[in-house]
Amino acid sequence: MSEWISVALPKGRLGDKVYRMFARAGYPNDEIEKEGRQLVFESPECGVRYFLVKPSDVPMYVERGAADIGVCGSDILMEYEPDVYELLDLKTGICRMAVAAKENFADDCSRALKVATKFPKTARDYYGKKGRKIDVIRLSGSIELAPVLGLSDVIVDIVETGTTLRENHLKVFDTVAPISARLIANRAAFRFKRTKIEELTEQLRRQTEERK
Amino acid sequence: MNRILNALDKTERIIFELRSLYLEYGYQRYKMDIFEDYDLYGRNSGFLVSDRLITFTDGNGKLKALKPDVTLSVILNSRDLQDGVEKFCYNESVYRMDADGVFREIDQTGIECIGRVDEACLEEVLTLAAKSLQQLSPDYVLSLSELTILSFLIGRASGSTDASVKTETEKAYLTALQRRSRDGMKAAAQAANAGEKDENMLIALIDLPQDNEKALGILKVLLEQQEENGTEDKAEALKAFRRLEQTLSALEKAGYATELDFSIPGDTRYYNGIVFKGFLEGVPESVLSGGQYDGLMRSMGMKANAAGFAVYLDRLP
């Protein structure tokens, strides 16, 4: 059986934080933190191969077996529902999925609520449970602009500090779900590389417990 | 003969190898040479991998479906034997919608046993599942779950006497178990006000080791820890445990790679007892899936029991 384990990490700030957890767990790579365009990093001494991919693509890499394990936000798991194992809440990248609107917003229940979002399934599920009819406006960035320009009544989006919302005179009206980074695993790879994946998971779990 | 064998592509070769294996064990070939009524699939849509079907109207004005599944057709054409068992093997193209909304033709092969499915019959089905995997790759594992035991333990930890709350709690437990999410299980147990003992039991189900002897040892303790409450469910679960123990031991003695794994899903409306999936190293999803499906037989008005599996040839590398 293969001794290598491949890990899909999200590019960007979350990926940097998570990589440092992997390094502390005993799976370092000297090259990964250097600035550059390299996307694959191998550490033969600990049998780990890191891939840096777009955060929303991590579940696809893992579900399709291109990576054995990976790290992505629970927002991505909630939206795409990939068929993967969700081994650990890494308790980092903490934020929330929230409903926000202009400060003076009042819901007009006589018509469908216009919701701008990057997460259409999450928005539909949330309002579906409330029995509220919605019109989803799917955007891929600058979601906060939608209510300001009258494109939507509300937005469903990730809120970390709330600074962008405040600067655009928006406020949070409800929390859809708390969000954090999760360690995920391919269902088949987990079976054939279980000892190594569980050792790594245990090391990461210890770090999350130390932070409590 | 060699000339013919050389002309086969990899999938065709696998189909013939598996068919000859099933024929050696006395399975008769089932050919789906007519299209079943749409209604057959519509009434049992929960059993299907996808409920999106290709439909058409035949010359008699009847609404038909283009083969989304083979099992339902085999059941419909079986004799519903109470004494004795009919053993079928098949290789068919089925038509299913993929995640991108595109209908695809998928090669599927498998077996179905319909009639008096006793322990020996079930063991034969599992042996053939393991042998099928072995023919596909030396690096395989057959993962088994047991739904009587699982339903009993999950039910005991769900606490509430309100049926709808109990159902929601059990659903949350099963979701966490199928995702192997300890954090999800803890959250679900805490939301249901389950005690520490129940929470630990649920986590232990996720953490069962791959070694069958150790896993069975832990499972036995979890079952024995449950209190008698005047119902028959504990006795039923222990009986299922003994059957599982015997089955796993027989498969292990025969040298097959098996593991006990409660993350294997099984819809209890259709399946009961042992459900299983087969995996090959290097293939990202299961290539074989099956189990005992007496529930489906009842929902189709049949008295016989049934078990079988399908091999998904489109998932092979």
| Residue B165: inside a domain | yes
Mean pLDDT, residues A172-178 taken together: 96
> What is the predicted pLDDT for the residue at B183?
95
Query: Containing domain of residue B178, as a range?
Result: 155-232
Per-residue pLDDT band at A165 (split at 50, 70, 90): very high
| Residue B221: inside a domain | yes
* pLDDT tens by residue, B34-64: 999 999 999 888 888 887 899 999 999 999 9
Report the first-to-last Cα separation within chain B, whole angstroms.
26
Q: Is B24 helix (H, G, I), strand (E, B) or coil?
A: helix
Checking if the pLDDT of B230 tops 80, the result is no
* pLDDT tens by residue, B147-206: 999 999 999 998 777 888 888 999 999 999 999 999 999 999 999 999 999 999 999 999
> Looking at the domain covering A95-177, what would its CATH class be?
alpha beta
| Residue B176: inside a domain | yes
Partner-chain contact B179 A85, CB within 8 Å: yes
d(CA B19, CA B31): 13
The encoded tokens of residue A17 equal 């934080």
Mean pLDDT, residues B115-124 taken together: 96
- CB atoms under 10 Å from CB of A142, counted, come to 11
| Residue B220: inside a domain | yes
The encoded tokens of residue A120 equal 């259409």
* pLDDT tens by residue, B239-268: 999 999 999 999 999 999 999 999 999 988
DSSP B248-305: HHHHHHTT--EEE-TTS---TTT-EEEEEEEEETT-SS-SEEEEE-HHHHHHTT--SE
The encoded tokens of residue A11 equal 């590019």
B257-293 core/surface letters (b: 16 or more CB in 10 A; e: else): bbbbbbbbebeeebbbbbbbbbbbbebbbbbbbbbbb
Alpha helices, H only, A44-183:
58-63, 74-80, 120-130, 145-148, 163-167
Domain limits, CATH 3.40.190.10, in chain A: 5-93+180-210, 95-177
Name chain B contacts of A83, Cβ cutoff 8 Å.
Answer: 285
Which are the contacts of A158, defined by CB distance < 8 A and separation ≥ 6?
A73, A75, A95, A96, A97, A98, A179
| Residue B202: inside a domain | yes
| Residue B56: inside a domain | no
Given a contact cutoff of 8 angstroms between Cβ atoms, the answer to whether B132 and B19 are in contact is no
CATH superfamily, with its number, for domain A5-93+180-210: Periplasmic binding protein-like II (3.40.190.10)
> What is the predicted pLDDT for the residue at B231?
75
Checking if the pLDDT of A36 tops 80, the result is no
Q: How far is A184 from chain B (nearest CA, A)?
A: 9
Given a contact cutoff of 8 angstroms between Cβ atoms, the answer to whether B195 and B225 are in contact is no
Report the domain count for chain B: 1
| Residue B191: inside a domain | yes
Q: Which of B181, B282, B283 sits opposite A86 (nearest CB)?
A: B181
Long-range contacts of the stretch A34-42 (C-beta < 8 A, 24+): none
Q: How far is A205 from chain B (nearest CA, A)?
A: 11
DSSP code at position A197? H
Name chain A contacts of B282, Cβ cutoff 8 Å.
Answer: 65
Query: Cα separations (Å) of A206 from B70, B180, B311?
Result: 48, 18, 40
> What is the predicted pLDDT for the residue at A1?
41
